[in-house]
A and B are shown apart, each in its own frame.
Chain A
Amino acid sequence: MSKRIVVDPVTRIEGHLRIEAEIENGKITDAYSSGTMVRLLEEILKGRDPRDAWAFVGRVCGVCTSVHSLTSVRAVEDALDIVIPPDAELVRNIMFCAQYMHDHVVHFYHLHAMDWVDVVNALKADPKKTSEIAQSISNWPKSSPGYFSDLQKRIGKFVESGQLGIFSNGYWGHPAYKLPAEINLIGLAHYLEALEWQKEIVKIHAIFGGKNPHPNYLVGGMACSISKDDISGINAERLALVHQLLKQGKEFIEQVYIPDLMAIAGFYKDWGAIGGGLGNYLVYGDLPTNGYRDVASYKIPPGVILNKDISKIYDVDLRKDDEVQEFINHSWYEYKGGDKVGLHPWKGESKVKYSGPKPPFEFLDTTQKYSYLKTPRWKGNAMEVGPLARLLVAYGRGNKEVKEIVDKALTDLQVPVTALFSTLGRTAARGLESILAARWGLEFYDSLIANIKNGDTRMANTAKFEPYTWPDKAVGVGHSEAPRGALAHWINIEDKKIANYQLVVPTTWNASPRDGNGKQSAYEAALMDTPVADEKQPLEIIRTIHSFDPCLACAVHLYDEQGKHISRIAVVGD
């Protein structure tokens, strides 16, 4: 007989997520994912200045901050036929790489690590042995026996005080924790170091965008003029700081994050066979090296994988009516045509209607509607998006850089390629992608310097900034690869104002409820058959959910019905 358990709030994520799971004989037999907060930003955007949209939608999320702003300016530039200067593209790319580096490290240490690292168990570690292990896996200088011994004493007193703060009520001592005490201590040390490190890398956003979280973007380019001979602009001092931050960020990723990831993964190889889920992966692509419109120039190639078959990569077209569609069979919305239809975002309808139980409640009625997330489908298929999808598509397309880095990781861990389709695979992919982002950030920096040397210092194309230059009607689509996966915004401009604005975001793909055919989305599918040792402490559920890096504020929004679209930009294969 199965028993239903509830995890709400799921913590160490962005936003409000609830998981209900059926458990029988220590395994999950069914799972339901529910987004429980809504803000309806699309309604608020209507009638506003399209040039302001990036600021509004930037506030969709403060964790993956900047990605919505970037996608928004791309959508408006697409609609108004604006090509941005190469330097602006490079600055956006550098900010993008900094965002990946920050977001992935913070996810690993501050949002995910405590699923694998037993903080309390770290007290039993032998500092000398810890030091030996640390030095055997990395050149990172903070690794002496004294360093670990001091840390252990601090944590010991902290635990004794009885006020455990953020560590209160964790699942410490749970049988699913498998790390030796020494690795736990290394993980804890680097949790604290990463907390200090993370505030540095985002200074890149402050330099180009004025602040982080929520740096400023600009339709037509970036606002940070290059001015070699003035204190105000992007001058030699500013650029030197960017360079230093990129180098330091790369150092931390290569010497701390990756060694830790590999050391921890080595003890959890069984999770290479758990949490796989759908096996369908969707990527829009990003990091243009020859302009946003040249999809073939992207560092991150677009594409679709179905049924784990990486030998065949399909192309994606965001304009086509029958590719991306959203359903509301289990979502708290109403369509004019009823629940059976799936609508392309351009034809989306808006009407939120909560029909769940009256709070306070114990369980949702999951046979009915049970989430504020809609259910997106690609040609009817449920898709997973995120770092794993990106690596797999690039791997499948034969990208040398990605192939090399993935193959090395598989060899080092001595796991088969099938281990990628799993909770462990998702977590590892995020780390491997960070190495690439760190490398690419420096490449883009070098290109920027080269451009400036060659005399190209243009940062914004303002020829079409003023509304009088715009057509009466325009539509556009912008896409990007947010840290959590494929992201796209659609805009419809009429009479110089936003007539319609729509977002389909990564966590909507991953965390949505099942569709009308009962087909689960990525979270729910990934939880199936997961072992749960202690139903009162469902650590295993948290592990798999966290491996997706949930971002619920992004996922919940509302569409509005508007006319058709014509978009110049399609995401197609190279």
Chain B
Amino acid sequence: MRRSTFIHLSKPKTSLMQQTAPAKLPTYYDEVERKGYSRRDFMKFVTMMAAFMGLEKSAIGQIAQALQNKPRVPVIWLHFQECTCCSESFIRSSHPLVADILLDQISLDYTETLMAASGHQAEESMLNTMTKYKGEYILCVEGSVPTGADGVYCMIGGKTSMQILEEASAGAKAIIAWGSCACNGCVQGAKPNPTSATPIHKLISGKPIIKVPGCPPIGEVMAGVIVHLVTFGTIPELDGIGRPKAFYSKRVHDSCYRRPYYDAGLFVNSFDDENARKGYCLYKVGCKGPSTYNACGITKWNGGTSFPIQSGHGCFGCSEANFWDNGRIYERAAAFPGFGIEADADTVGKVALGVTGAAIAAHAVMTNIRKNKLIHNIKVEGRESEKELDA
């Protein structure tokens, strides 16, 4: 339930951002109007964003007010040990107005992927923002920081990523750790982690860090986090390990449309088998949805088109810390504490996959028994699966 107080929460009108930013900058509403969107479009967007962030109706007015009155927030987006999938995911964010706001309404003053300037001009652009907006800009970090060999495994402009992160974080108002690389080291941090790939929270102290894990995170989730920051001037409510609760408080398993098959004990036994074609649960072919906290089952991917499970492949837990070392992809998770949405990430996170053999089987059997009366026609098949699970 931790909520950072680093950024002013209460009154947008007197927030730090408002006080110190240049007075003449256009507001979001100005921008929206200029782009030819109507007041109605604007309110639709605001309502969508509110729903998106899981806010109540009463917050809509607040968002609208904030968007109409706030100047654009400078953003520096750094790239270290990464594959740029986070940037790519970000530009996949589905709502056009969101894309407009994020690419035009925030002032994205440094991003190696999209910025026009290169070399000295690029570095100068970052330096300008760090100086002019000291204490006000948002720092986004995509990628982990290699600390091995004094940092020489990642150098930009002749500096190590360690140096650059230190300099850029000093004047940042808040920091977003994009994706699993920045949050937990991701693939280059997997064993034996030859470059000592390090997540940024281990290198920065005294700054609020919002972790947005996933490989990559869902585009709309990334957009949602940024919009929350610039709209309210606050960081979203985070869980115990720093992730926005709005998107990371539910397990993929709990929001999965194939969940009833799990409860009924109906599983895919191998890819493209009869059960796969019926859309049964993918747990037995390795799905890690039961131990993964993410918005995939609800928000889905690419404008709600699909998500891994819907397309027949199990979740492999890409938003969980150290997921590359957390069992093989097609290996059945031996156990997870699977007792509903109530179990929050703080509890589950402490329990590694594969610790006990009994819990998952018990969960599957119990739910199966509960619902068995309703599924006479598939009872036999379900029991066979139970036996297999028990064995």
Contacts and interface: CB of A to CB of B under 8 A. Distances in A.
Interface residues of B, number: 104
Contacts of B329: 49, 51-52, 55
B279 interface: yes
Contacts of A171: 116-117, 121
Contacts of A196: 96, 99
Nearest to A16: B156
B302 A206 contact: yes
Contact of B272 (A48, A221, A538): A221
B54 to A, nearest CB: 22
B116 A168 contact: yes
A6 to B, nearest CB: 7
B316 A55 contact: yes
B85 interface: yes
B162 to A, nearest CB: 9
Interface in A491-538: 536-538
A365 interface: no
A102 to B, nearest CB: 9
A359 interface: yes
Interface string B129-157: 00000000000000000100111111111
A154 interface: yes
Contact of A170 (B116, B146, B271, B302): B116
Q: Which one of A210, A356, A457 has the greatest number of beta carbons of chain B within 10 Å?
A: A210
A59 B186 contact: yes
A227 B153 contact: no
Contacts of A216: 308, 311, 313
Given A61-B83, A62-B83, A231-B279, A44 B194 contact: yes
Contacts of B99: 195-196, 199
A230 interface: yes
Q: Which one of A6, A13, A169, A221 has the greatest number of beta carbons of chain B within 10 Å?
A: A169
B202 interface: no
Nearest to B133: A163
Contacts of B83: 14, 59-63, 553
A31 interface: no
B117 A169 contact: yes
Given A7-B119, A56-B324, A169-B116, A359 B276 contact: no
B371 interface: no
A208 B118 contact: no
A36 to B, nearest CB: 4
Contacts of A373: none
B104 A165 contact: yes
Nearest to B302: A206
Contact of B302 (A202, A356, A458): A202
Nearest to A49: B328
Interface stretch (A70-78, A252-260, A459-467): A459-467
A223 B278 contact: no
Interface stretch (B11-19, B86-94, B230-238, B361-369): B86-94
B372 interface: no
Given A39-B188, A210-B309, A169 B278 contact: no
Contacts of A39: 81, 146, 153, 187-188, 195, 197
A13 B272 CA distance: 38
A132 interface: no
A361 B96 contact: no
A119 interface: yes
A207 B197 CA distance: 33
A492 B85 CA distance: 28
A214 B85 contact: yes
Nearest to A554: B83
Given A207-B306, A223-B311, A169 B155 contact: no
Interface string B328-357: 111100000000000000000000000000
A82 interface: no
A398 interface: no
Contacts of B151: 359
A129 B271 CA distance: 57
A167 B107 CA distance: 10
Nearest to B329: A52
A536 B124 CA distance: 13
Contacts of B312: 210, 222-225, 232-233
B306 A11 contact: no
Contact of A6 (B112, B119, B219): B119
A542 interface: yes
B211 to A, nearest CB: 18
Nearest to B71: A163
A220 interface: yes
A460 B279 contact: no
A391 to B, nearest CB: 26
Given A39-B81, A211-B306, A223-B313, A44 B192 contact: yes
A38 interface: yes
A52 B329 CA distance: 6
B311 A209 contact: yes
Interface of B: 22, 24-26, 34-36, 72, 74, 79-89, 91-94, 96, 99, 103-104, 106-109, 111-125, 128, 146, 149-160, 163, 186-188, 190-195, 197, 215-216, 219, 258, 270-273, 276-279, 296, 301-303, 305-313, 316, 318, 324, 328-331
Given A36-B154, A39-B81, A224-B313, 6 more contacts: A9-B122, A39-B146, A55-B316, A169-B121, A210-B301, A211-B308
14 contacts: A8-B157, A16-B156, A38-B153, A43-B194, A48-B328, A62-B82, A161-B25, A216-B313, A221-B271, A225-B272, A225-B277, A462-B273, A465-B270, A558-B194
